[in-house]
């Protein structure tokens, strides 16, 4: 019934404000507090006929970038998150056959702690190399990750090639797995993932830059959600959420950057295409303005997203599928979403104070094409963060 830590990390404001590893010769220390809060599930979409609270997350991030002298530097990220609230459980039809959401009921709480360490080497005009490893732990979930990245620049600085690969090894022991209350919930499982990407950055003019990146992600193991169910109308019963034990996805991402006459003002225009072997196809368009000078910096962006559904997804099923697969998870349903973010920062000597807000709303109305039966669990959320950092 809990939202996966990967999704929580993607949605928290820290993911939007994180700056990554600084240049090897620069040192900095940073603290960020973020709050993520999902909107209540509307009574009209709830099986109980009553509005229901959803998830909220409080996040504390401490980051250190430490130069080692010469061209090397190391980084350390420490994250502490507290999570609470209710999450979607399964979808069932109401008396008119319309899908309504059954929530997890009692409020769920959890704590997530994570550590990530990285090393970077800078070859100046030739390029960079970056290695990082991280470990994350919740009450029922543990994840270990390793990433390697590099950039090679052309002698004239007009082109550069980037590449990277990553590996993750996750294990989970669901709460109450195999208990009398939840006899069909697994006791433990694991999954692995491997990613690979390559990209090209091309300087078009003194003010324009274009980047294209092709990446792939391979996952294998237990990819279902142990806390979710799917409803079978023919038997008025539920079955465990069950997804294929492998998933391969490909993503093509393009980025355009344009600098205006106004010093420090730039336009960012991004497009991302995603496709996987679960038959999900997704499009993302992001437009943003960024401004930075000696004292102030700010950014404002808008994002549109649309995806098709997984081939085994349905809000509910008339009968069990022959292949045994079933999921009514809204993240596998067809939908679209709109998002907006605004950040502002002020430098005072070596210090920087900043903050930002973000909003997101998922709806069938924003999807490409029509959605015959929208998932009632689609989420809307607000987030905010405050940040303080110091260079040295």
In 3D, which of 199, 209, 213 has the Cα closest to residue 157? 209
- DSSP structural state of residue 123: -
Cβ count near 210 (within 10 Å):
15
Token pair listed for 354: 């900043």
The beta-strand segments (E) located in 104-140 are 108-122, 127-137
pLDDT at res. 22? 44
* C-beta of residue 298 within 8 angstroms of C-beta of residue 213: no
| Cβ-based burial of 373 (10 A; exposed 0-12, middle 13-18, buried ≥19) | middle
Whether the predicted pLDDT of 4 surpasses 90: no
> Greater confidence, 133 or 107?
133
Task: Name the pLDDT band for 106 (thresholds 50, 70, 90).
Answer: low
Token pair listed for 386: 């405050």
* C-beta of residue 74 within 8 angstroms of C-beta of residue 117: yes
Dump pLDDT digits (tens) for 234-289: 999 999 999 999 999 999 999 999 999 999 999 999 999 999 999 999 999 999 99
* C-beta of residue 31 within 8 angstroms of C-beta of residue 388: yes
pLDDT at res. 5? 41
Placement of tokens 């808008």 in the chain: 302
- DSSP structural state of residue 42: P
C-alpha to C-alpha distance for 18 and 31, rounded to whole angstroms: 10
Sign of the Cα torsion 57, 353, 390, 265 reads positive
SS3 call for 113: strand
pLDDT at res. 1? 45
Q: What average pLDDT does range 165-179 have in this prediction?
A: 94
Dump pLDDT digits (tens) for 57-67: 999 999 999 99
* C-beta of residue 172 within 8 angstroms of C-beta of residue 141: yes
pLDDT at res. 155? 85
Q: Give Cβ neighbours of residue 274 (< 8 Å, ≥ 6 apart).
A: 249, 250, 251, 280, 281, 282, 283, 284, 307
HSE-CB for 170 with a 13 A CA cutoff:
22
Q: How far is CA 74 from the centre of its chain?
A: 24
Cβ count near 113 (within 10 Å):
12
Q: Span 5-391: which CATH code?
A: 2.40.160.40
C-alpha to C-alpha distance for 163 and 198, rounded to whole angstroms: 4
C-alpha to C-alpha distance for 327 and 191, rounded to whole angstroms: 18
pLDDT at res. 181? 87
Q: Mean pLDDT, the chain, as a whole number?
A: 93
User: What distance separates the 2 farthest-apart alpha carbons in the chain?
Assistant: 70
Task: Name the pLDDT band for 25 (thresholds 50, 70, 90).
Answer: low
* Domain spans, the chain: 5-391
Whether the predicted pLDDT of 13 surpasses 60: no
Q: Which residues of 140-152 are buried (b: 16+ CB within 10 A; e: fewer)?
A: bbbbebebebbbe
C-alpha to C-alpha distance for 36 and 59, rounded to whole angstroms: 8
Task: Name the pLDDT band for 346 (thresholds 50, 70, 90).
Answer: very high
Q: Where do the H-state alpha helices sit in the chain?
A: 5-11, 13-17
Q: How far is CA 293 from each of CA 263, 285, 344, rounded to the nearest angstrom?
A: 7, 27, 12
* C-beta of residue 8 within 8 angstroms of C-beta of residue 380: no
> Greater confidence, 4 or 342?
342
- DSSP structural state of residue 278: T
- DSSP structural state of residue 22: P
C-alpha to C-alpha distance for 179 and 211, rounded to whole angstroms: 51
- Least confident stretch, 151-160, 252-261, 314-323, 378-387: 151-160
């Amino acid at each position: 019934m809990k939202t996966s830590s990967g999704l929580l990390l993607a949605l928290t404001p820290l993911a939007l404000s994180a700056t990554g590893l600084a240049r090897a010769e620069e040192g900095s220390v940073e603290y960020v507090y973020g709050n993520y809060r999902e909107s209540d599930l509307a009574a009209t979409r709830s099986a109980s006929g009553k509005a229901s609270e959803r998830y909220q997350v409080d996040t504390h991030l401490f980051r250190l970038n430490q130069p080692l002298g010469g061209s090397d530097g190391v980084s350390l990220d420490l994250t502490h998150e507290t999570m609470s609230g209710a999450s979607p459980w399964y979808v069932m039809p109401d008396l008119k056959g319309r899908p309504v959401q059954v929530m997890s009921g009692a409020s769920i709480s959890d704590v997530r702690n994570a550590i990530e360490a990285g090393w970077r080497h800078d070859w100046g005009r030739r390029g960079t190399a970056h290695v990082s490893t991280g470990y994350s732990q919740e009450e029922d979930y543990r994840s270990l990750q390793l990433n390697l990245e590099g950039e090679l620049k052309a002698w004239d600085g007009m082109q550069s090639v980037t590449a990277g690969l990553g590996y993750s090894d996750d294990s989970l022991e669901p709460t109450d797995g195999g208990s009398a209350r939840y006899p069909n919930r697994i006791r433990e499982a694991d999954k692995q993932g491997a990613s690979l990407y390559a990209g090209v950055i091309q300087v078009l003019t003194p003010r324009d830059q274009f980047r294209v990146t092709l990446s792939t992600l391979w996952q294998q193991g237990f990819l279902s959600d142990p806390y979710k169910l799917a409803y079978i109308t023919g038997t008025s019963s539920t079955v465990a959420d069950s997804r294929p034990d492998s998933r391969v996805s490909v993503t093509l991402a393009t980025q355009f950057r344009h600098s205006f006459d106004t010093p420090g003002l730039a336009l960012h225009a991004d497009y991302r295409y995603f496709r996987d072997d679960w038959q999900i196809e997704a499009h993302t368009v992001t437009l943003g303005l960024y401004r930075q000078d000696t004292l102030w910096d700010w950014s404002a962006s808008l994002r549109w997203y649309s995806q098709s559904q997984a081939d085994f997804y349905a809000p509910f099923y008339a009968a069990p599928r022959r292949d045994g697969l079933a999921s009514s998870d809204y993240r596998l349903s067809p939908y679209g979403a709109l998002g907006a973010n605004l950040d502002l920062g002020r430098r005072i000597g070596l210090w920087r104070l900043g903050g930002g807000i973000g909003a997101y709303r998922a709806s069938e109305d924003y999807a490409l094409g029509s959605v015959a039966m929208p998932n009632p669990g689609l989420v809307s959320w607000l987030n905010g963060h405050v940040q303080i950092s110091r260079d040295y």
